[in-house]
Amino acid sequence: MDRLGLAYFEFNQFNEFLEEYDYVWGEPVIETNITSILQAKMNLSYKNYVISESDYFQGCPTMFNNEKAAIKYATT
């Protein structure tokens, strides 16, 4: 473990690792885990991004919490 406590992995990541080596122990790989959702969101192009109210900074529809939402808004 590193000093900051950042060296960890999720149970689902370990489960995926085991599955890659054909080790099946009865636990299903959860497809909707947090890591998968974040990776999908990071790999999404601003062109395909759909702005939602959760992207607004403090509810303001012209200020955003992330760059992709801001770029999408500016290019539409």
Is the confidence at residue 27, as pLDDT, over 70? yes
In a domain, 26, yes or no: yes
Task: Report pLDDT for 36.
Answer: 66
pTM of the model: 0.46
The domain of 75 spans: 45-76
Containing 63, the helix (H) or strand (E) segment is strand 60-64
- Residue 25 located in a structural domain: yes
Q: How many Cα atoms occupy the beta-carbon half-sphere of 17 within 13 Å?
A: 6
Q: CA–CA separation, 19 vs 28, rounded Å?
A: 9
Mean pLDDT of 33-61: 81
Residues 36 and 49 in one domain: no
User: What's the pLDDT score for residue 44?
Assistant: 76
Count of domains forming the chain: 2
Q: With a cut of 80, say whether residue 62 has pLDDT above it.
A: yes
Both 39 and 57 in one domain: the answer is no
Asked if residue 68 has pLDDT above 90, the reply is no
